[in-house]
Amino acid sequence: KYRFPNLEESISTDVTIVGGGITGICSAFYLQQAGYDVVVIEQDEVGSAATGASSGILYYGSGTNFLEATKLFGKDRSAFLWNESKETMTLIENIIEKNNLESGFRKPGAVMVAKNDEERYLLEIEQKSLKNIGINTELYHNTDIKQFFRGREFIAGLHFPECSQIHPAIFSASLAHCFDLKIFENTKFMSVEEIKDETILVKTPKASLRSKKLIFATKNQFLLD
């Protein structure tokens, strides 16, 4: 629905961001809120590639459970990561509601399930550990969990009510449109060089950008070659 022009003329800005996915758009949003003049260039369309393919699930932590994370990162770092995730989920929800953004937002929650007594015990430990760092969950029993999983039998589940889901591409484009971010689609990054007085020159097929800072918010292979 929301489309943006390509870069036809050379411009100057405080910050140039390469990549118009959710990372690039959110970075531009917060930098603009902080008073910086920001330009985003995207070689395709906002929210394409990885952002468009993402499930958009807003969940805690690192993709694993808290107990496993503490083994990998330590308790303090894991607690920080989980609470940062919690704040981020709340922040995204508030931005969407306050600005009436199109995003496909829904809040179904999430459930971690247990198939046997050993896994149930681990869920109980998980719940206690999360409560100690300020994250509340609800332990579901067999009858409770059937409302989520009707095709399989689980003896217990740990419910995370704050977990939600968005459509990342729609959210990114809607956020950019709502806050009038400077986005240039179909504008491929070609090269970068430092010219003078700590000024960076980013070249695209039709024009260039002069800026003081450059942020790569993309995983595209051509930037790694």
Q: What is the DSSP string of the chain?
A: --------S-EE-SEEEE--SHHHHHHHHHHHHTT--EEEE-SS-TT-THHHH---EE-STTSS-HHHHHHHH-HHHHHHHHHHHHHHHHHHHHHHHHHT--S--B---EEEEESSHHHHHHHHHHHHHHHHTT---EEEEHHHHTTT-SSS--SEEEEETT-EE--HHHHHHHHHHHTT-EEESS----EEEE-STT-EEEE-SS-EEEESEEEE----GGGT-
Low-confidence ranges of the chain (pLDDT < 50): 224-225
Cα–Cα distance for residue pair 225/221, rounded to 1 Å: 7
Q: Would you state the pLDDT for residue 132?
A: 96
Instruction: Decide: 2 and 177 in contact? Cβ < 8 Å.
Output: yes
- pLDDT (tens digit per residue) in 140-180: 998 888 887 777 789 999 999 999 999 999 999 999 999 99
Q: Would you state the pLDDT for residue 224?
A: 47
Q: Would you state the pLDDT for residue 20?
A: 96
Question: Exposed, middle or buried, 37 (CB in 10 Å: 0-12/13-18/19+)?
Answer: middle
Instruction: Decide: 95 and 174 in contact? Cβ < 8 Å.
Output: no
Q: Would you state the pLDDT for residue 144?
A: 85
Give the number of other CB atoms < 10 A from CB of residue 124: 14
Q: Would you state the pLDDT for residue 223?
A: 52
Q: Would you state the pLDDT for residue 222?
A: 54
Q: Would you state the pLDDT for residue 217?
A: 94
